[in-house]
């Protein structure tokens, strides 16, 4: 006698096949003490990781700041993050820049490279290709300023590694949407 398979319950569904996505969220908040702590606390309490975080006041008249958060998770987890952020009282809006076809993301990095001779010349050649600017130089090192997508900065740093990469300082991701409307 063979048994019929029992239909899977929605509660038993395996979520292992869900793909993780990277998202950039712009969170407009009231600029008041403790707001950043509440936003970060929401991520921390639920075990969500923040890959990049930038904050700046964007409207002094309305006392509004923009928090740009880069995070990774399943589609369901990311929807939960958005919904939970919107429940926080000081949050005015959450904009998913990644989902917007008009979204632009950029990052700034300062990259220190030490070297002499051929490695020094090669570092300058690579910097020119990546449109990195030399903002400081000594006989032993350069400091380059580079802007662009995070992946571009990662590649630049990877190429500088064998040439004498000393230190990297990154701003974190900034984002905005094209067009005349805010957000």
Q: Both tokens of residue 65?
A: 């700041």
Residues 123 and 164 in one domain: yes
**Start-end of H helices in the chain:** 35-46, 75-87, 118-129, 150-164
- Domain span at residue 118 reads 103-176
Residue 70, pLDDT above cutoff 60: yes
Domains of the chain: total: 2
CA angle, residues 132, 134, 138, in degrees to nearest 5: 145
Q: Looking at residue 48, which CATH number applies to its domain?
A: 3.30.70.260
Stated pTM of the model: 0.78
114 within some domain: yes
Does an H or E element contain 45, and which?
A: helix 35-46
Residue 107, pLDDT above cutoff 70: yes
Residue-averaged pLDDT of the chain:
90
């Amino acid at each position: 006698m063979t048994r019929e398979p029992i239909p899977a319950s929605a509660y038993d569904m395996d979520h292992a096949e869900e793909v993780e996505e990277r998202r950039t969220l712009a969170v407009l908040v009231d600029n008041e003490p403790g707001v950043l702590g509440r936003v970060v606390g929401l991520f921390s309490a639920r075990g969500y990781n923040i890959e990049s975080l930038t904050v700046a006041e964007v409207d002094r008249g309305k006392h509004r700041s923009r928090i740009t958060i880069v995070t990774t998770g399943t589609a369901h987890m990311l929807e939960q993050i958005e919904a939970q952020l919107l429940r926080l009282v000081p949050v005015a809006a959450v904009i998913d820049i990644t989902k917007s076809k008009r979204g632009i993301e950029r990052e700034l990095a300062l990259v220190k490279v030490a070297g002499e001779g051929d490695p020094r010349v090669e570092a300058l050649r690579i910097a020119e290709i990546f449109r990195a600017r030399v903002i400081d130089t000594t006989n032993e090192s350069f400091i380059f300023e580079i802007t662009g997508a995070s992946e571009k900065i990662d590649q630049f740093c990877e190429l500088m590694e064998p040439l004498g990469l000393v230190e990297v300082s990154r701003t974190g991701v900034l984002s905005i949407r094209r067009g005349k409307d805010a957000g």
